Amino acid sequence: MKIALTFDLRQEYLEAGYSAEEAAEFDIPETINAIETALLALGHDCLRIGNARALIRELAAGSSWDMVFNICEGLRGPGREALVPALLDDYQIPYTFSDPLVMAVSLDKATCKTIIKSLGLQTPEFTVIRNKGDIAKIDLSPPLFAKPLSEGTSKGISAASKVLEYSKLKQQCLYLLEKFNQPVLVEKYLPGREFTVGLLGTAENSRVLGVMEVIMRSAAEESAYSYINKAEYESRVSYRLASDKMAGQCAELALAAWQGLGCRDAGRVDIRFDERGMANFLELNPLAGLNPQHSDLAIICRLSGIPYQDLIGEIVASAEKRIRA
């Protein structure tokens, strides 16, 4: 097939004056090269497009392709991950990964958790802080966990995210409201083991690739898979494939969430256990990172003995089924 590759290149945003944290979700050349190399090895033609604005220019000029391999995260607003899929839907060009609705819903953590609860799946109790006045209305008892409502790559998550008293919670919420200029999600803190589950496929054809436990080393920032822990994972975090009873709970919960939300092709679900030993849905990432060395989904595949090229091939094959339907 003739496949176009859409992506946000981190260096372009850094050169435009954005901070390292603001550009943290965007990709480095190694990732783009790896995807392109895999697509070429699979027998496809590959054309690099770039970000959403570059795609808009190509579409306006009349360009078209058999498929777009889309990993654009977008820059602004709660619908930023939905922008490229929405554009491609309008031009009737098939693409990899989930549709605009799933992208927008999953980025809004509260909306996503509301749907998860409606599916009868376990997730921590939560509330949303949209302004300073909402802080006094919180009726959840500590320990609690506060994070930005619509960020990825653990942005805004640190040791300070876990709060044990109201004064600290107020301080953290005010900090996040100002720094990220968006609402804050406050949820019950879960003290148990943390996992991330890799998934592949769509609807009834989806399956679990592997269940990976995230284990904090002594050098890690406490209480969370935080921004700094994720950025410096080689020294702060250990990963291992899990196959025990808890891993089975994770796989069941992740697959139910994936299928219930209508996710497509590949992604991840983050899960943590509560004090009762129950698996709880934390977040869903339908546009998981694809760096062959550092991204969680690629690490899950590597630990499971799945070559990176096979992962890319399976993603394309899953998307290709929609062309034939």
Kindly list the structural domains of the chain, giving each domain's residue range(s) and its CATH number in brackets, ordered by start: 2-96 (3.40.50.20), 106-110+114-120+191-324 (3.30.470.20), 125-188 (3.30.1490.20)
Read off the tokens for 49: 């497009």
What is the pTM (predicted TM-score) of this model? 0.95
Mean pLDDT computed over 205-216: 96
Rounded Cα gap, residues 191 and 146, in angstroms: 14
Averaged pLDDT score across all residues of the chain: 95
Section 240-258 average pLDDT: 97
- Mean pLDDT calculated for residue range 176-199: 96
**pLDDT value of residue 233:** 80
The one-letter amino acid at 317: A
Q: If you average pLDDT over residues 211-225, what whole number do you get?
A: 86
Predicted local distance difference test score (pLDDT) of residue 324: 85
What percentage of the chain reaches a pLDDT higher than 90? 87
Q: Note the pLDDT of residue 208.
A: 98
- The region of weakest confidence among 59-63, 170-174, 224-228 is 224-228
Model confidence at 196, pLDDT cuts 50, 70, 90, reads very high
Tens digit of each residue's pLDDT (9 = 90 or more) over 66-113: 999 999 999 888 899 999 999 999 999 999 999 999 999 999 999 999
Q: Which residues contact 260 (CB under 8 A, 6 or more apart)?
A: 115, 116, 119, 121
10 pLDDT above the threshold of 80: yes
Are the C-beta atoms of residues 195 and 213 closer than 8 Å to each other?
yes
What CA–CA distances, in Å, run from 105 to 7, 43, 82, 207, 289? 20, 34, 9, 21, 18
Specify the DSSP element, H or E, that contains 279: strand 279-285
- What's the pLDDT band for 316 if we cut at 50, 70, 90? very high
pLDDT (0 to 100) of residue 217: 87
